[in-house]
Amino acid sequence: MERLDPEKVPRHIAIIMDGNGRWAQRQRLLKIEGHQRGLEAARAVVDACEELGVRILTLYAFSKENWQRPRKEVNDLMRLLQKALRKERDKLLKRNLRLTIIGDVEDLPTPISDLLVETVEMTRHKDGLIVNLALSYGGRSEIVAGIRKVIEEIEAGRITTDDITPETFSRYLFTRDLPDPDLLIRTSGELRISNFLLWQIAYTELYFTPTLWPDFGKDELIRACIAYQDRERRFGLTADQIREGAAAR
């Protein structure tokens, strides 16, 4: 495997963790066992990101659309999430990890939302890897909520329409305190974004892998980071402009 350049590690990696159900089906296991194995993969990726020097890891854990899944599966997922939060919180507090949440946390069962809010507050002072969980999250809903906040600000006279730019609008999103992702990874071979960070990934590098999420680990993460570092990020400029800018620095 090509060596990863530590100077070019993505600052912010976002992952659509897909394939737990198919993994379980292939192993002839219950779907919840696939989700359990997916949780273990998430732990491994958090460890790997911390080791590689990634600053922010955003994990698409549960979408707004996932509430439409069969009730038993949703209930099983909520129980698994609650159990994992209780089990992992002490470990989290002992490490230099900060937990943040994006999404409509109020949609979650109260015991889970309370645990999340408490853990976010208890890790607020940490300055290591930010583990950002997207829970009951939808990109379109986030943008609509942001628009509503902007309208409220205008009606209250705190801002005018002239104040609205792409940069200022970003302040009304769930991710207002975070930089946009540098790299978005989707597992399981699906080639779509699935309503994830629609505003934030305008210039994010996309990486798709057929690997199912429960089989995704440090080696696969490094492959994605190597693919990222081999790309030229131009942000609308030409290659010559990028080279001239680099030479000027």
Q: Where are the beta strands (DSSP E) in the chain?
A: 12-16, 56-63, 98-102, 130-137, 183-186, 205-208
Phi, psi angles (nearest 5°) of residue 43: -60, -45
Give the DSSP per-residue string, 179-236.
Answer: PPPSEEEE-TT-----SSSTTTTTT-EEEE--S-GGG--HHHHHHHHHHHHTS---TT
Instruction: Show Cβ contacts of residue 10 under 8 Å, excluding neighbours closer than 6 positions.
Output: 54, 181, 182, 183, 205, 225, 228
Structure tokens at 130: 């930010």
Catalytic option among 47, 66, 180, 215 = 66
215 has catalytic annotation:
no
Question: Cα 190–226–134 angle (5° rounding)?
Answer: 50
- At 203, which amino acid appears? Y
Beta-bridged to residue 218, according to DSSP, are: none
Determine the Cα–Cα distance for residues 241 and 7; give it in Å rounded to an integer: 21
Residues annotated as part of the active site: 18, 66
